[in-house]
Amino acid sequence: MVFSILGNWRQLVEKPASVEEVELTVEKGSIPAFSFFFMLVISAVIATFGLLANSAAVIIGAMIVAPMMNPIIAMSFSLIARKITLTIRSLFTVFTGTILTIGVAIAITETIGWKLVGSEIAGRMAPSLLDLGVALAAGAAAAFAYTRPGVSSALAGIAIAVALVPPLCSVGIAISLGQEATAEIGLPIQNISARGPLLLYLTNIIGIVFASSFVFFWQFFRRKVSVVLILALTLGSLLIVVPPLGISMDNLLIRNQVMRTLTTISSSVIPIDQNIQITNLNVRIRDDVVFVSGHVLAPPGLLTQEMADDVQEQLSKIVEKQVVLEFAIIPQKIIRSPILSE
């Protein structure tokens, strides 16, 4: 009765690939062959142009082309399978690919002479625990796809979910720009740095290695007690990135809280019949002090220092940190056409 309704679905259940098949597959991805470096250079070129042009669609295309996931998964498998030669080769491929990608980004940025940093680059300057969560999920999905050939088509989506080449290209762009771009776009100096995207790249690698190692462990090696120690070591590697990501996560939550509550507080201070507009809002945290800046479009004479002090006091109580407000008031004049009577 059940099979007549649901069908004999058991014959469609895919069996996992054998450990020998997986090893052969990942070993191919670990080889530092010409095709790997060629596709990596192409991906780096696309990603760098996409970052400089601030085009999310182009950056996504670079993620699909990038072959960097293959040696990382090979490294994860080799650690659990205790294949020292495969581990060394995978590490070499990842390291040389990393240096090559950064070099391509530096060369392109220097050649073009670009001095502007858009939101796509700025967004990779402050990774958080959210990025680690993405890396862990993507690593688990990638390892599972290697053990189930039927879902290997999902690898392209996994490559999009966890970006490896764009953060490296952001490192190269940041190295090339240094502090020269700060004057043109108004970002604080500490925001344009190679440290943020490099931390994002390391977060992605460590998250992928741990999650994929766990999947390989559970699929093939869970009966080997000696492998548990290796898995524990990969888990311990997360401690390298968790503290800075936690600080960045706290800062992100504070920024969101400030942006959410600023409008609410302002509406209680400013007369309801007056229209104001806040643009270019920027929230920075330095030495436990929250700096809030932006532009305010308002009728002349509407805003006073007393209103700003009132908003600052309420905002400091809500975020439980000292808040410093700095807004440029742009005089606003509204012209309305009269309503014509019929």
Average pLDDT, the chain: 79
Q: How many helices (H) and strands (E) does the chain have?
A: 15, 3
Residues 327 and 340 sit within 8 Å (Cβ to Cβ): no
For the chain, how many structural domains are there in total?
A: 2
Q: Is residue 247 part of a domain?
A: no
Range scoring the smallest mean pLDDT among 21-25, 305-309, 328-332: 328-332
pLDDT in tens, 258-311: 777 776 666 666 655 556 777 666 777 777 787 777 777 777 767 777 777 777
Nearest alpha-carbon partner for 66 in 112, 120, 29, 27: 29
Q: Give the domain CATH number at 267.
A: 3.30.70.1350
Phi, psi of 336, deg, nearest 5: -120, 140
| pLDDT, average across residues 211-238 | 83
Which has more confidence, 290 or 336? 290
* 144-197 pLDDT, tens digit each: 888 877 666 666 667 667 788 999 999 999 888 875 554 344 444 445 778 889
State the Cα–Cα distance between residues 324 and 157, nearest whole angstrom: 42
178 phi/psi in degrees, rounded to 5:
60, -125
φ, ψ for residue 61 (rounded to 5)?
-60, -40
Q: What's the rounded Cα separation, in Å, for the pair 48 and 101? A: 9
Residue 39 pLDDT level (bands cut at 50, 70, 90): very high
Q: What is the pTM of this model?
A: 0.78
Residues 210, 282 within the same domain: no
The pLDDT value given to residue 121: 83
- State the pLDDT at residue 183: 39
pLDDT (0 to 100) of residue 227 = 79
The sheet with strand 277-286 has its strands ordered as 277-286, 289-298, 322-331
Token pair listed for 193: 């740095």
Note the pLDDT tens digit of each residue in 52-87.
888 888 988 888 888 888 899 999 998 888 889 999
CA-CA distance, 194 to 309, in Å (whole number)?
36
Minimal CA–CA distance to 206: which of 245, 257, 251, 263? 245
Contact between 165 and 40 (Cβ < 8 Å): yes
Given 207, 236, 265, the domain boundary residue is 236
- Structure-block tokens of residue 172: 């190269």
Q: Are residues 215 and 270 in the same domain?
A: no
DSSP label at residue 270: S
Q: What is the predicted pLDDT for the residue at 220?
A: 82
Which of 152 and 11 is assigned the larger pLDDT? 152
Position 127 in a domain:
yes
- What is the pLDDT confidence band of residue 339, given thresholds at 50, 70 and 90? low
Specify whether 191 is located in the same domain as 70: yes
Average pLDDT over residues 240-260: 80
- Quickly list H helices, 82-126: 84-112, 119-122
Domain boundary among 236, 261, 276: 236
Domain span holding position 62: 15-236
Q: What is the pLDDT of residues 86-140, one digit of tens each?
A: 999 999 999 999 999 999 999 999 888 777 777 788 788 888 888 899 899 988 8
Higher-pLDDT residue of 72 and 250 is 72
Domain CATH for 200: 1.20.1080
**What 8-state DSSP symbol labels residue 12?**
G
Residue 171 has what pLDDT? Answer: 92
pLDDT band at 7 (very low <50, low <70, confident <90, very high): low
Instruction: Give the Cα separation of 256 and 61 in Å (integer).
Output: 30
What does the DSSP 8-state code read for residue 126?
S
| Domain membership flag for residue 340 | no
